Amino acid sequence: MTVCCPPPTAIASVVTTLNPCPQTLGQIDKVIFWRRGNYMSVASASVSTAWTTRFESTGTDKAVASPFLGNVEMPVPDPREFGGGNETVRGASIRRGNLSTKFSGRIYQADQDTIAYLKDLMCETLDVLFFNEANEIIYREVGTDCYGFPVTKGSLFLSDKHIGGLEEADYNILSFNLRPNWSNSLKIVS
């Protein structure tokens, strides 16, 4: 949690442009993993050949895209808090910050060799970028560079195959946690 002591002399302005554009992530279709610390310029992130180079790399800059995902969920986490009732003044809880955000999605009807390959990533220290229905990359901006969002170490999980039977599709669950405040420097590039 951010401690503001001493507080600034004035409250910072929230609205920085007269007519700001709305921002929406839409439906997340895929996730892209790469090792923590990798990045590319924002200009390169909008060029498909830059991504082809990353996907085909055999070095530490390699990026891996998941198969298409369905049933993607990212519920807003509850705040970390203490108190309430007689423990705190007037029963007001003390907010201590955010919990991590859990991402989950289903990979339908995937070849299990692909799932086994993705399971190997569970031992890595990864960042994740999101790819949405509008062919946009959702990333973390640092200066003029495109970084991924840090995946909480040890939280990446791929389930064994869920058998759908007669009426449902088979699927594997992909899930991981993002650090608190993960979306503070979120940007989108086409």
Q: Which residues of the chain have pLDDT under 50?
A: none
The count of C-alpha atoms lying within 13 angstroms of the C-alpha of 58, restricted to the half-sphere facing its C-beta, is 0
Write down the pLDDT at residue 128: 96
Q: Whole-model pTM?
A: 0.83
pLDDT in tens, 78-98: 888 788 888 888 888 887 878
Write down the pLDDT at residue 18: 67
Write down the pLDDT at residue 176: 96
Write down the pLDDT at residue 47: 86
* Residue 56 phi, psi (nearest 5): -90, -5
113: left (phi over 0), alpha (psi -120 to 50) or beta: alpha
Task: Report d(CA 149, CA 147) in Å as an integer.
Answer: 7
Hey, where are the domains in the chain? 28-76+96-189
Write down the pLDDT at residue 3: 66
Q: Which amino acid is at 16?
A: T
Write down the pLDDT at residue 1: 59
Write down the pLDDT at residue 125: 95
Burial of 45 (0-12, 13-18, 19+ CB in 10 A): buried
